[in-house]
Structure 1
């Protein structure tokens, strides 16, 4: 039985059940460009910041279709390309993952660093999960968090 939510019930439902993201849908596509926020430092006070290592993880979630990572580019907070991370395209078999590390001592990206991940497939495939995991790596308590990528371009079958 469906119940119409109003007032507080609707607010709680919206807070607990965020809308589905494009990459969480079961639509199969031939390729995408995914923007993934990454951070080489975060500020906790006006004159204090913590350095972070960023690990980009790309997971092929399709259980039956391979995909090819065409490029993974690392940009700084001004949008300037710092480097292309892949030397050549990388094929990801079904359920395979690829990781890339930006070490804690590399602060070139700044607070607003990001990755652009471009992938393709010969057959329609599920969108991979692309996320960055940032850690302080200091051995003690420090900031650790992740950010999920956002599809900014899609190639439909």
Structure 2
């Protein structure tokens, strides 16, 4: 018996494939800007889509250094800032995390939404893990997956 994999499964495998460029996880820096893909809906057929909730999670993985989140913005698929999600700078102690939810009924971001996370530190620190967790939240089986952020700007210690 020949089974065909659903298009959604193949798309998710592609999205979750390891990045081709490895990042030096031991490098300590003074701050970064991180791009995190997010999705408020995904298409399974040309005229059918599933709504998704997106949770941004930022984890300070440095065991010794506090970092400060200075900016967390949610952008729509057109690249425009939809809203700032951080009212004021927020310190994250070692191993502390911060999460922000875009609810399932908020489709303003579209298929190609994203978060921009900016952080800084007074002394060199390890890059935090920034990822988005998307889920259908319907109570039944539905799509759930994560995306990992990509550093797009880095401040090195002089």
In 1: Cα distance, 2:117 partner to 2:136 partner = 24
Q: Which runs of 4+ in 1 moved over 3 A?
A: 16-20
**How far does the alpha carbon of each residue in 1:60-107 deviate from its partner, in whole angstroms, 9 at most, with x for none?**
000000000000000000001000000001000000000000000000
Who is 2:22 aligned against? Answer: 21
1:59 Cα deviation (Å)? 0.2
Of the two, which has the highest radius of gyration?
1
- TM-score normalised per structure 1: 0.87
Q: What's the TM-score once normalised by structure 2's chain length? A: 0.86
Give the unaligned 5+ runs of structure 1: 1-15
The corresponding residue for 2:40 is 40
Q: Does residue 1:154 correspond to 2:154, yes or no?
A: yes
Q: Deviation string for 1:111-140 (max 9, x for gaps)?
A: 000000000000000000000000000011
SS at match of 1:83: strand
Q: Paired residues, what number?
A: 141
Look up the SS of the partner of 2:63 in the other structure: coil
For residues 50 and 19 of structure 2, the distance between their equivalents in structure 1, rounded to whole angstroms, comes to: 30
Tell me the C-alpha RMSD between the 2 structures.
1.5
SS at match of 2:26: coil
